[in-house]
Amino acid sequence: MNKKILSLMVFGFVLFGAAFASAQPTEETIFSVNVLETEISISVPDRIVFNDIAAGYLSEDQGFELINSGTTDIRVTPSLNESYNGAIFKNLKFDTVKTNPEMTRIGVFNVEVSRPNIPGGEKNQQMYAWLDLTQYSEEINKTMENHEATVLFTATQQ
Amino acid sequence: MVSKNLFFIFFIFFIYSINAATLSISPPQLNFEGEVGEELCNKIRIKVNGAENVTGKIKWAKEGYSKRILHEHNLDSEELNLKVKFLKKLTIEKSEEIEICLRGKNTGNYHGVLLYRIQGKPLQIGIWTNVSLEGKDFIKMTGNFINAEDKEPNLLLFPTILLVVFFAL
């Protein structure tokens, strides 16, 4: 028999065998998944700037987002950095709604942000901040330009 | 017109990306269970974007308090006779595993919060820390040792008898 025909037949057998094997129903199916670790993950904006304000006034609201990109429900508590020794930002207030807000003072306020709907996704919580100097009783004798305070957003598992 | 819109979208994305800080820690809770005087260790993983300087501290609530209320956790480890070893300052490139080891002198249940923050950034993550220590603590052990009403045999009994016998002879 011609070598060419022989090798063609072998090739045909191999091809047929492979096709037959792949068509056989398997007895077990392997399920596979990546299980993500339980993780706290949060993003906050670096800087929030208010418009000019004076004693006796309430600032305009400043909207920003807290982003939960972890895999667990979290509680976020804003607090003034220990190094801040001024009085202005002690009147910082927060709420999650813009209209008819309750505006809770920093140090007392916290907000719950649920985990993302899909693992690896993000859950955004809309937030609003106000600087409420309506009850600020001290005289401000000199304009404080670019008066700053670091607000620390601490996230913990609920 | 299209290129202007594209530039605007890119600009918004760019502003957003440089203004948001991100920090991730796993797991969100640590449990330390063991004996008084025993060194108990756990590990956490901290993730950041790029390379960041990270600082850490731990605060505790009063002994027996276990509610997850952040401002109730204002005691230092020394105030509860707890010795906690962990890196308080480190530079992390993307991700790093850190070990936290703890040793206590007194029995009891302690609830703490291990806080890590990126230096100069406005965010911090708190890991709830549950500690349960069993066994005899140092102060009680000393009390038992000199307690005359203790019914268990103690080491003072033998020298006392020896002394009485010695003087009787």
Domains contained in chain A, number: 1
Residue A22 above 70 pLDDT?
no
Whole-angstrom distance, CA of residue B5 vs CA of residue B1: 6
ipTM above 0.90 for this complex = no
- Report how far apart, in Å, the C-alpha atoms of A147 and of each of A52, A139, A141, A143, A151 are: 11, 16, 14, 9, 13
Is residue A40 predicted with pLDDT exceeding 90? Answer: yes
**Cβ contact A156:B72 at 8 Å:** no
What CATH number has the domain bearing residue B93?
2.60.40.10
According to DSSP, the β-strands at B29-35 and B123-134 are parallel
Interface of A with B in 11-50 (CB under 8 A): 37-47
Query: Structural domain of residue A144, as residue ranges?
Result: 42-157
Whether the per-residue pLDDT at A115 is higher than 50: the answer is yes
- Residue A84 placed within a domain: yes
Residue B149 is predicted with a pLDDT of 39
A129 and B CB contact within 8 Å: no
Flag whether B121 is in a domain.
yes
In a domain, B95, yes or no: yes
Residue B105 forms part of a structural domain? yes
Is some CB atom of chain B closer than 8 A to the CB atom of A157? yes
In a domain, B57, yes or no: yes
pTM above 0.80, yes or no: no
Shortest distance between the Cα of A127 and any Cα of chain B, in A, equals 15
Residues of chain A neighbouring B24 (CB-CB closer than 8 A): 39-42, 69-70
Give the structural domain span for B94.
Answer: 21-148
For residue A21, tell me if it sits in a domain. no
- Strongest mean pLDDT among B14-18, B64-68, B141-145, B164-168: B64-68
Residue B3 domain-assigned?
no
Q: Is residue B12 part of a domain?
A: no
Question: pLDDT above 90 covers what percent of chain B?
Answer: 61
Give A96→chain B minimum CA distance, Å: 18
The nearest alpha carbon in chain A to B44 belongs to A39
- pLDDT at residue B82, rounded to an integer: 94
Decide if A154 and B128 are in contact by the 8 Å CB cutoff. no
- H/E/C letters for each residue in chain A? CCHHHHHHHHHHHHHHHHHHHHHCCCCCCCCCCCCCCCCEEEEEECCCCCCCCCCCCECCCEEEEEEECCCCCEEEEEEECCCCCCCHHHHEEEECCCCCCCCEECCCCCEEECCCCCCCCCEEEEEEEEEECCCCCCCCCCCCCCCCCCEEEEEEEC
Whether B29 and chain A come into contact, CB under 8 Å, resolves to yes
* CB of B25 less than 8 A from some CB of A: yes
- The larger pLDDT score, comparing residue A114 to residue A13, is at A114
Round to whole Å and give the CA distance between B142 and B160.
18
Report if residue A13 sits inside a domain: no
Kindly state whether residue B160 falls inside one of the protein's structural domains.
no
Which amino acid is residue B64, in one-letter code?
G
Q: Smallest CA–CA separation between A58 and chain B, in Å?
A: 24
Residue A27 lies in a domain: no
Could you tell me if residue A104 is inside a domain?
Answer: yes
CATH code of the domain containing A148: 2.60.40
For B6-64, how does the pLDDT look when each residue is reduced to its tens digit (9 = 90+)? Answer: 555 544 444 444 457 889 999 999 999 999 999 999 999 999 988 999 999 999 999 98
Least confident interval from A96-100, A126-130, B1-5: B1-5
Q: Give the separation between CA A64 and CA A68, rounded to whole angstroms.
A: 13
Task: Domain count for chain B, please give it.
Answer: 1
CB pairs under 8 A between A and B: 92
Whether B154 shows a pLDDT value over 70: the answer reads no
